[in-house]
Structure 1
Amino acid sequence: MFPDFVKRGFGWLQETVSGQAQYALLTVLAAGPLPKHVAFVMDGNRRYARRQHQAVSQGHSDGFAALRRVLEICMHLNIHCVSAYAFAIENFKRSPEEVDALMTLAEEKLVEIAQHGELLDEYGVRLNVLGKTELLPSRVQAAIRKAEEMTRHNDRAILNLCMPYASRDEMTSAIQSTVREAIRSESNHVEITEKDLDAHMMTSMVGSPPVDILVRTSGVKRLSDYLVWQCCEDTQIQFSECYWPDFGLWDFLPILLDYQRKVWAAS
Structure 2
Amino acid sequence: MDKRNGNKASQLCEDLCTFIRRCILSVLTVGPVPRHIAFIMDGNRRYAKNRNLEDGAGHKLGYVALMNMLKYCYELDVKYVTIYAFSIENFKRRPEEVQSTMQLIKEKIEGMLREESLFNQYGVRVYFVGNLKLLSESVKLSAEKAMEATTHNSKVVLLVCIAYTSTDEILHAVEESCREKRAEFRKGMENSESLITVTDIEKHMYMADVPNPDVIIRTSGETRLSNFLLWQSAYTLLCSPSILWPEIGFRHLVRAVLDYQRNFAYLEQKQKQS
Q: Tell me the TM-score normalised to structure 1 length.
A: 0.88
Range moving further from structure 2, 181-190 or 64-73: 181-190
**Residue 31 of structure 1 aligns to a residue in which SS?**
coil
Which whole-Å CA distance do the structure 2 matches of 1:32 and 1:191 have between them?
Answer: 42
In structure 2, which of residues 199, 206, 216 is the aligned counterpart of residue 202 of structure 1?
Answer: 206
Q: How does 1:9-48 map to 2 (within 5 A)?
A: 20-48=19-47
Distance apart, 1:18 and its partner CA: 6.5
Which whole-Å CA distance do the structure 1 matches of 2:160 and 2:97 have between them?
Answer: 19
Q: 1:216 is matched with which residue?
A: 218
Runs of 4 or more above 3 Å deviation? 17-22, 264-267
Give per-residue Cα distances to partners, 1:62-93, cap 9 Å, x unaligned: 11111111011111111010000000001011
Distance apart, 1:225 and its partner CA: 0.4
Q: 2:5 is matched with which residue?
A: none
Which whole-Å CA distance do the structure 2 matches of 1:157 and 1:19 have between them?
Answer: 20
Conserved? CA contact 2:213–2:236, under 8 Å: yes
**Residue 87 of structure 1 aligns to a residue in which SS?**
strand
Which whole-Å CA distance do the structure 1 matches of 2:39 and 2:18 have between them?
Answer: 27
- Label 1:151 to 1:209 Cα distance change in 2 as closer, same or farther (>3 A): same
**Residue 56 of structure 2 aligns to a residue in which SS?**
helix
Q: 1:241 is matched with which residue?
A: 242
Q: 1:53 is matched with which residue?
A: 52
**Residue 115 of structure 1 aligns to a residue in which SS?**
coil
Distance apart, 1:203 and its partner CA: 1.0
Unpaired runs of 5+ in structure 1? 8-13
Conserved? CA contact 2:223–2:238, under 8 Å: no
Which whole-Å CA distance do the structure 2 matches of 1:138 and 1:214 have between them?
Answer: 30
Conserved? CA contact 2:111–2:117, under 8 Å: no
- Label 1:190 to 1:117 Cα distance change in 2 as closer, same or farther (>3 A): farther
Which whole-Å CA distance do the structure 1 matches of 2:219 and 2:246 have between them?
Answer: 9
* Greater Rg by CA: 2
* Identical positions, percent: 37
Residue identity opposite 1:238 in structure 2: C
Conserved? CA contact 1:158–1:208, under 8 Å: no
Give per-residue Cα distances to partners, 1:79-108, cap 9 Å, x unaligned: 010000000001011111111110110110
Unpaired runs of 5+ in structure 2? 1-7, 270-274
Residue identity opposite 1:225 in structure 2: N
**Residue 28 of structure 1 aligns to a residue in which SS?**
helix
Which whole-Å CA distance do the structure 1 matches of 2:87 and 2:45 have between them?
Answer: 15
Give per-residue Cα distances to partners, 1:109-137, cap 9 Å, x unaligned: 01111223632233322101111111111
The alignment covers a number of residue pairs equal to 253
Which whole-Å CA distance do the structure 1 matches of 2:256 and 2:170 have between them?
Answer: 28
Which whole-Å CA distance do the structure 1 matches of 2:31 and 2:123 have between them?
Answer: 22
Q: How does 1:81-100 map to 2 (within 5 A)?
A: 81-100=80-99
- Label 1:99 to 1:116 Cα distance change in 2 as closer, same or farther (>3 A): farther
Output the aligned Cα RMSD.
2.2
Distance apart, 1:248 and its partner CA: 1.0
Which whole-Å CA distance do the structure 1 matches of 2:55 and 2:39 have between them?
Answer: 20
Distance apart, 1:250 and its partner CA: 1.0
Which whole-Å CA distance do the structure 2 matches of 1:147 and 1:239 have between them?
Answer: 30
Q: 1:147 is matched with which residue?
A: 146
Which whole-Å CA distance do the structure 1 matches of 2:194 and 2:21 have between them?
Answer: 56
Residue identity opposite 1:38 in structure 2: I
- Label 1:22 to 1:211 Cα distance change in 2 as closer, same or farther (>3 A): closer
Q: How does 1:95-134 map to 2 (within 5 A)?
A: 95-116=94-115, 118-134=117-133
- Label 1:21 to 1:103 Cα distance change in 2 as closer, same or farther (>3 A): closer
- Label 1:133 to 1:196 Cα distance change in 2 as closer, same or farther (>3 A): same
